[in-house]
A and B are shown apart, each in its own frame.
Chain A
Amino acid sequence: MPSPRYWREIPSRYRLEASRCGECGRVSYPPRHICPACRGANLETMDLSHEGRVVTWTVVHVPPTDFLMQAPYALAVVETPEGARMMVQVVDCDPEALEAGMPVALEFRLIRREGRGGILCYGHKAVPAYPIGDAEEAEMQAGEMEVAHA
């Protein structure tokens, strides 16, 4: 893939730029031109917070070529407090320790070196918001997030 393709995506990949629909409030990540929920075209740009929770996940044992050295790795759909969802790797933890609802922080990372050209591809990966096993603190934080949602 040529590099302009990556350059175009910098706002969403580097800054977690999303869009919020001025009609129905739906948050889309990456940003869209038309709201997928209501077809509203009045969308404003916003930055997502760098935290979220695991919705569903897998551990990839047979990876694409560019990710050979990373396997096995955890890949998850993560939902941010704004309601946006994104697919990201979950790193800095045992991939077998993932759970639904697990709180994560989104950190800027190197995703891969692409093909022979070796273009460096950046973006975000999720890391556990708390050390795995520190259930008490995670639970306390979970309660706070729910309050914040309400």
Chain B
Amino acid sequence: MREVAIVAAGMTRFGELWGASLRDLFVEAAQQTVESAGADRVDAIYVGNMSAGQFVGQEHLGPLMADHLGMAGVPCIRVESACASGGVALRTAFLEVASGASDLVLAAGVEKMTDGADVTEVLATASDQETEVYHGATFPALYAMIARAHMLSHGTTEEDLAWVSVKNHHHGALNERAQFRREVTTDQVLGSALVSEPLRLLHCSPVSDGAAAVLLCPLDQAAQYTKTPVAIRGAAMATAAMALADRRDISFLDAVALSGAKAYEMAGIGPEQLDLAEVHDCFSIAEICCIEALGLAPPGQGRHCARTGETGLGGRIPVNTSGGLKSKGHPVGATGVAQVVELFEQLTGAAGARQVPDAEFGLAQNMGGTGASSVVHILQAV
């Protein structure tokens, strides 16, 4: 396989963007990206999108997006893996460049969630319809059951969960593209409305619109497009049992551990060599489970990391410097690509107030449903 680099990145602001449609969002992020690389044509496009069909009644996104980007004729493929759609689109683009099939490939993600669809019911389609949703499960309910299992196994408390939100809002307040650019306190989190016990509103990522994109080419061609390429050293995906009831340990995310292990092996590094990570904090408990599964915290100890500052800016391993899904926003299909946009900026020294000094290795972990699919990328500054 050829070595692959990211040579450009772009994204929209995340939030309730009522003035922008699904296609507007994609075009803004994609055009920013190809323009900054000076590329007016690409060999292929992958678009991560969870559910435009349900959110806005639009399927067949491939030709639609290529057409509106002014690139009709270019192969363009919509990739779906629920909330991991963006990350899986990136991995698919990576494989196309690594294989030698194409030289210049755009990986994007987009979601338009605020056009009036019943978001709770659309998102629930990423869990098991027949055995979970049928009985009244929502996404917060499923993650609440993971949180309860983690509390029972490891002594995790509601306050531990709250600290994850506090940390990520602190980071997001420094990100001009974040949906919620404000700090929150543990008292505010613990005083917010109950959604599904023990999870409260401020443990949950918001409903968002947004798009993100990155441009990939072989590492030995990267100089044509940028002076500061970032190499993709690991790209791995894994799956796990779909329904919570079919998992032997409900508090552990097997697919995250498996995708992480494969990506570390491919990159030839371990978690201790990472300078920062973006992980899938769709709910506060998810960040705790993910950092444990990725080896960024010992098993059962992830609950302490936000409170002690280990995973904050300036800490041992800053996690979700972008603000994470919690504060930056979570337009589901765009999230996996937006995580990599943050890593690209961090590894090229362009992250401004959020900059992790001298960052060399960064990891992005993006998952679908309750962690039934997970994709991990490891990037290196070159």
Contacts and interface: CB of A to CB of B under 8 A. Distances in A.
A100 B136 contact: no
B196 interface: yes
A76 B312 CA distance: 34
Contacts of A56: 145-146, 148-149, 152, 244, 250
Interface in B121-164: 121, 124, 130-138, 140-141, 144-146, 148-149, 152
Max count, chain B CB within 10 A of own CB: residue among A73, A86, A87: A87
A121 B134 contact: yes
A86 to B, nearest CB: 5
B187 interface: no
Contacts of B145: 56-58, 75-77
Contacts of A75: 135-137, 141, 145
A81 interface: no
B142 to A, nearest CB: 8
A88 interface: yes
Interface string B211-243: 000000000000000000000000000000101
Instruction: State which size class the interface on B falls in.
Output: 20 to 34
Interface string A50-83: 0000011111111111110010010111000000
A88 B244 CA distance: 12
A56 B145 CA distance: 6
A25 B133 CA distance: 28
Contacts of B199: 58
A65 to B, nearest CB: 7
Contacts of A61: 193-197
A61 B152 CA distance: 21
Contacts of A65: 118, 121
Interface in A90-147: 100, 111-112, 121, 123
A22 interface: no
Contacts of A11: none
Given A55-B149, A58-B141, A64 B134 contact: no
Contacts, number: 91
A9 interface: yes
B127 to A, nearest CB: 10
B157 to A, nearest CB: 16
Given A30-B131, A56-B148, A88-B135, A36 B140 contact: no
Contacts of A36: 241, 246
A20 interface: no
A88 B138 CA distance: 13
B188 interface: no
A123 B131 CA distance: 10
Contacts of A9: 130
Given A57-B145, A77-B250, A62 B195 contact: yes
Contact of B131 (A63, A66, A76, A87): A87
B245 interface: yes
Contacts of A86: 131, 245
A58 B285 CA distance: 14
Contacts of A66: 136
B294 to A, nearest CB: 22
Nearest to A100: B152
Interface in A7-54: 9, 28-30, 36
B124 A64 contact: yes
Contacts of A87: 131-132, 135, 137, 243-245
Nearest to A13: B134
Contacts of B250: 55-56, 77
Contacts of B194: 59, 61
A62 B124 CA distance: 13
A56 B196 CA distance: 13
A97 to B, nearest CB: 12
B189 to A, nearest CB: 16
Given A61-B197, A64-B120, A87-B243, 9 more contacts: A30-B130, A60-B140, A64-B133, A65-B121, A67-B136, A75-B136, A75-B137, A87-B137, A111-B134
Q: Which 10 A-B pairs have the closest CB atoms?
A: A58-B144, A85-B245, A59-B197, A56-B149, A67-B136, A61-B194, A56-B145, A56-B148, A58-B196, A62-B195
9 contacts: A9-B130, A56-B146, A58-B148, A62-B120, A62-B138, A62-B140, A75-B136, A86-B245, A87-B245
